[in-house]
């Protein structure tokens, strides 16, 4: 590997972070708030760290797969590290551990927080916090590749490392076109939701930051009570619509909204995603009606928002689900593990892999009934490559092993079992809230510091889909 080339590309990543730090600084200057100097120092330092390798290392478009993996993985880790600077310099109870947890939660679009009083933060710092969601939602490497001039082989390798093979399904374009489509859909949805929320009487600042969080399926709110603060059915409906859209493969959304294809209506993955959500909403509505909410409309309103929020890994809340019946909590935990579609900004195992699991199970049952039969796993009438099926099933198993291992480690630190498991599942799935001490109206401040580092690792593993971070930590990888 060539360290200088890796450092050059990571420098470019840091400059994209510096851009959003600079915007946050401008807000601080206008507001004349307490985050002015912390953001100024953070912007200057990040800009310098990004500029030096670009100035002193010659450009190249020729990198190999190993270098690409290091650039992507270290790009994410160093972005999270840079993201701690405004918090630490601002103070307000931010230890390095808490700042790291908040930064990782932002970039990985998890939305878990350790902040007791969110509304005490200045607007500029709240904007930076929301920006980490928006940068991480589509991926900092994707931003870089979509905006920069043609990078040749380097662009192809970096995009392959950033975007999983599963998420590349339903894209029939060249790499650079795919990246531009992702950015166009991402920015377009953000703009439309911002306008819609402003029309629902939300302030422009809140509308923009909540749109950042919704389209990135992140969940950071500017309010202590999250969306419950607004007590507005109109705002909730807008956010629900955009949460649902943000959980669908961006390639299918692009083809649908441009009128080039209506495959989104025929996709078995999208159907499974929507029907699973609908079934979850109906069951939860039935269970909370009469005990928590007297009317069916209110029951449907709160059930739909919570199921969609967890099922898309967004993590907003309009009520405290920790008080709900156990069955509804189990349903929400299922959606915490599954989440939405590959090719979206959602986290979790992904609907695609869950559907593949059921299709593989169906194949096995048919083969047991008809041993001589040749049965292929098909989705939308097309056979799925056996390597894709195998890697998907391995991913599901490894994912669950990590969740249970993290749960046991948290339990060993004295965390109760419901909190330990739901916190591990929520951070691994980049969902945000869990149950118990980390419920939808609580936060992660009570988790021991070692536990916060464990959960931060879960967030990164979930966002990078496990293998990238594991390979980087292997000794053989560096030989």
How many Å apart are CA 302 and CA 288, to the nearest integer?
9
Residue 226, domain member (yes or no): no
Residue 26, domain member (yes or no): no
Question: What letters, b where the CB count within 10 A reaches 16 and e where it falls short, cover 128-140?
Answer: bbbbbbbbbbbbb
Domain count, the chain: 2
For 463, list phi and psi in degrees, rounded to 5. -70, -35
**For 170-181, what is the mean pLDDT?**
65
The reply to whether 465 and 372 lie within a common domain is: yes
The reply to whether 301 and 361 lie within a common domain is: no
Confidence (pLDDT) at 9: 84
Strand (E) or helix (H) holding 269 = helix 268-288
Tokens for 260, please give them. Answer: 């080039």
The reply to whether 465 and 367 lie within a common domain is: yes
Q: Does residue 475 surpass a pLDDT of 50?
A: no
| Phi-psi sector, 267: left (phi>0), alpha (psi -120 to 50), beta | beta
How many Å apart are CA 155 and CA 188, to the nearest integer?
23
Radius of gyration for the chain, computed over Cα atoms and rounded to the nearest angstrom: 22
The dihedral built from the CA positions of residue 265, 268, 270 and 273, taken in this order, carries a sign that is positive
Residue 249, domain member (yes or no): no
Q: Name the 3-class secondary structure at 293.
A: strand
Per-residue confidence band for 366, with pLDDT thresholds at 50, 70 and 90: confident
The reply to whether 290 and 383 lie within a common domain is: no
Confidence (pLDDT) at 144: 58
Q: Return all residues near 223 (Cβ < 8 A) that are at least 6 apart.
A: 118, 119, 206, 229, 230
Structural domain ending residue among the three candidates 288, 312, 338: 338
How many Å apart are CA 158 and CA 160, to the nearest integer?
5
For 93, list phi and psi in degrees, rounded to 5. 90, 5
The reply to whether 379 and 436 lie within a common domain is: yes
When the pLDDT of each residue in the chain is averaged and rounded to a whole number, the result is 89
Q: Does residue 4 surpass a pLDDT of 90?
A: no
Angle between helices 96-107 and 65-83 (to 10 degrees): 130
Count Cβ atoms within 10 A of the Cβ of residue 369 and give its class: 0-12 exposed, 13-18 middle, 19 or more buried.
Answer: exposed
Structural domain ending residue among the three candidates 285, 309, 338: 338
- Model confidence pLDDT, tens digit, residues 118-164: 999 999 999 999 999 999 988 766 655 655 555 555 555 455 545 55
Q: Of the given ranges (29-38, 157-166, 293-302, 306-315), which has the lowest mean pLDDT?
A: 157-166
Confidence (pLDDT) at 145: 61
Tokens for 1, please give them. Answer: 């590997």
Can you give the CATH number for the domain in which 435 is found?
Answer: 1.10.287
Residue 310, domain member (yes or no): yes
Residue 471, domain member (yes or no): yes
Higher pLDDT, 301 or 170: 301
Looking up tokens 């904007």 gives: 127
Residue 426, domain member (yes or no): yes
DSSP label at residue 201: T
The reply to whether 472 and 361 lie within a common domain is: yes
Per-residue confidence band for 56, with pLDDT thresholds at 50, 70 and 90: confident
Q: Name the 3-class secondary structure at 379.
A: strand
How many Å apart are CA 437 and CA 457, to the nearest integer?
19
The reply to whether 368 and 422 lie within a common domain is: yes
The reply to whether 388 and 334 lie within a common domain is: no
Q: Return all residues near 117 (Cβ < 8 A) that are at least 6 apart.
A: 224
The reply to whether 405 and 323 lie within a common domain is: no
How many Å apart are CA 203 and CA 199, to the nearest integer?
9
Q: How many CB atoms lie under 10 A from the CB of residue 216?
A: 32
How many Å apart are CA 80 and CA 14, to the nearest integer?
10
Tokens for 326, please give them. Answer: 């156990």
Residue 280, domain member (yes or no): yes
Residue range of the domain that includes 364 = 356-478
Structural domain ending residue among the three candidates 312, 338, 364: 338
The reply to whether 462 and 370 lie within a common domain is: yes
Residues 209 and 222: beta-carbon distance below 8 Å = yes
CA end-to-end span of the chain, whole Å?
9
Residue 2, domain member (yes or no): no
- Model confidence pLDDT, tens digit, residues 71-83: 888 889 999 999 9
Confidence (pLDDT) at 464: 84
The reply to whether 415 and 457 lie within a common domain is: yes
This prediction has a pTM of 0.92
Q: Does residue 274 surpass a pLDDT of 70?
A: yes
Q: Of the given ranges (55-64, 231-240, 304-313), which has the lowest mean pLDDT?
A: 55-64
Residues 303 and 330: beta-carbon distance below 8 Å = no
The reply to whether 448 and 407 lie within a common domain is: yes
How many Å apart are CA 173 and CA 477, to the nearest integer?
32
Q: Of the given ranges (10-19, 306-315, 371-380), which has the lowest mean pLDDT?
A: 371-380
- Model confidence pLDDT, tens digit, residues 188-237: 999 999 999 999 999 999 999 999 999 999 999 999 999 999 999 999 99
Confidence (pLDDT) at 296: 96
Percent of the chain with pLDDT over 90: 65
């Amino acid at each position: 590997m060539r360290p200088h080339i890796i450092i050059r590309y990571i420098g470019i990543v840091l400059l994209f972070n510096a851009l959003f730090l600079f915007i946050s600084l401008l807000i601080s200057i206008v507001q004349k708030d307490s985050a002015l100097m912390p953001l100024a120092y953070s912007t200057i330092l990040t800009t310098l760290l990004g500029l030096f390798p670009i100035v002193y290392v010659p450009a190249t478009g020729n990198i190999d797969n190993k270098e690409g993996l290091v650039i992507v993985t270290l790009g994410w880790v160093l972005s999270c590290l840079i993201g701690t600077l405004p918090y630490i310099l601002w103070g307000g109870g931010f230890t390095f551990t808490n700042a790291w947890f908040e930064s990782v939660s932002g970039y990985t679009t998890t939305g878990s927080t350790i902040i007791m009083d969110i509304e005490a933060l200045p607007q500029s710092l709240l904007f930076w916090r929301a920006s980490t969601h928006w940068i991480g939602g589509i991926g900092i490497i994707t931003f870089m590749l979509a905006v920069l001039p043609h990078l040749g082989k380097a662009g192809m390798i970096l995009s392959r490392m950033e975007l999983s093979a599963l998420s590349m399904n339903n894209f029939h374009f060249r790499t650079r076109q795919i990246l531009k489509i992702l950015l166009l859909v991402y920015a377009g949805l953000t703009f439309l939701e911002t306008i819609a929320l402003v029309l629902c009487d939300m302030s422009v600042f809140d509308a923009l930051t909540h749109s950042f969080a919704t389209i990135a399926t992140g969940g950071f709110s500017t309010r202590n009570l999250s969306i419950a603060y607004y007590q507005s059915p109109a705002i909730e409906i807008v956010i629900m619509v955009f949460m649902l859209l943000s959980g669908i493969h961006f390639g299918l959304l692009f083809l649908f909204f441009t009128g080039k294809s209506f495959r989104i209506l025929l996709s078995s993955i999208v159907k499974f995603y929507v029907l699973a959500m609908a079934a979850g909403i109906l069951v939860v509505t039935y269970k909370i009606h009469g005990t928590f909410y007297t009317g069916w409309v209110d029951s449907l309103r709160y059930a739909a928002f919570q199921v969609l929020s967890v099922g898309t890994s967004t993590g907003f809340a309009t009520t405290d689900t920790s008080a709900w019946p156990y069955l509804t909590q189990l349903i929400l935990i299922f959606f915490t593990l599954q989440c939405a579609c590959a090719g979206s900004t959602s986290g979790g195992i992904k609907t695609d892999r869950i559907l593949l699991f059921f299709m593989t199970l169906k194949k096995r049952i048919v083969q047991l009934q008809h041993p001589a039969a040749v049965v292929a796993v098909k989705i939308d009438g097309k056979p799925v490559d056996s390597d894709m099926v195998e890697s998907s099933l391995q991913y599901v198993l490894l994912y669950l092993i990590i969740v249970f291992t993290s749960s046991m480690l948290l339990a060993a630190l004295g965390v109760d079992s419901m909190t330990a498991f739901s916190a591990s599942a929520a951070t691994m799935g980049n969902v945000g809230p869990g149950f118990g001490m980390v419920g939808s109206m609580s936060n992660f401040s009570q988790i021991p510091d070692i536990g916060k580092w464990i959960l931060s690792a879960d967030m990164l593993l979930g966002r990078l889909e496990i293998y990238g971070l594991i390979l980087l930590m292997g000794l053989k990888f560096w030989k």
